[in-house]
Amino acid sequence: MVLLQHFFDSAFKRLRSQTANVMTIMNLGFGSLALLSLLQGHTGLTVAFISTAAILDLLDGKVARKMNIESELGKQLDSLCDLISFGVAPSLLLFHSVLYQFGAAGAMAAIFFIICGAIRLARFNISNSAGFFIGLPITGAGCLLTISFLFSYSFSPPLFMFLILSLSILMISHFRVKKL
């Protein structure tokens, strides 16, 4: 009986230690669903999946800090998942809905956003900036791109080109953003 209790205690501790990572993986899952739904032309679902990924991204960090289960693996995993959910998915959503009108320039703008997001995440992973971010976090930039999609029928395409390029530059800039 003691052996069985030890087994369950050990299993519970391992499961508990992975709670935030499971949420991070779910973020990636919803980011991937966003891409798949975009390929099927379901832009409304794409927005919903990116939004769900954003909620999970917000929660995974809070859970990790609250449960004192932050890890280097979790930090790296979070960045990889964020690149898909808030870099690739939003930029392709905007390309699919508006930026395609610019041809190669629109494609380059979408790719530039992804590249800047990757640089931003890599820089974050090697920094020791406590209490603030340097540059606009990719989650914020990706969510702004996703929200902008909702106005894609109301504003002219050049505004969206300006937006994606501006957000790209803001991600790799050196201004400080206080962590919430």
**Furthest-apart CA pair in the chain: how many Å?**
70
**Residue 148: CB atoms within 10 Å:** 20
Question: What is the C-alpha to C-alpha distance for residues 98 and 108, in angstroms, rounded to an integer?
Answer: 13
Of residues 90, 105, 69, the one with CA closest to residue 149: 90
Provide the pLDDT for residue 73: 87
pLDDT at 84 over 80: yes
Q: 129 to each of 20, 124, 126, 134, how far by Cα in Å?
A: 21, 8, 9, 8
Contact predicate 133/171, CB 8 Å? no
Q: What is the mean pLDDT of residues 76-105?
A: 97
Question: What is the C-alpha to C-alpha distance for residues 10 and 112, in angstroms, rounded to an integer?
Answer: 46
Instruction: Render pLDDT for 111-160 as a digit per residue (tens, 0 to 9).
Output: 999 999 999 999 998 987 777 888 999 999 999 999 999 999 999 999 99
Three-state SS at 128: coil
Provide the pLDDT for residue 72: 84
Provide the pLDDT for residue 130: 75
Provide the pLDDT for residue 61: 84
Contact predicate 161/99, CB 8 Å? yes
Provide the pLDDT for residue 10: 62
Percent helix, strand and coil across the chain, each to the nearest 5: 80, 5, 20
What's the predicted TM-score (pTM) here? Answer: 0.90
Alpha helices in 67-156 (DSSP H): 72-82, 89-97, 104-126, 138-149
Instruction: Render pLDDT for 61-81 as a digit per residue (tens, 0 to 9).
Output: 888 888 887 888 888 999 999
- Tokens read off for 5: 């209790």
pLDDT at 53 over 90: yes
- Tokens read off for 96: 């699919």
The pLDDT-based confidence of 55 (bands split at 50, 70, 90) is very high
Instruction: Render pLDDT for 1-39 as a digit per residue (tens, 0 to 9).
Output: 666 666 556 655 666 667 889 999 999 999 999 999 999
What CATH architecture is 9-178?
Up-down Bundle (1.20)
Provide the pLDDT for residue 69: 79
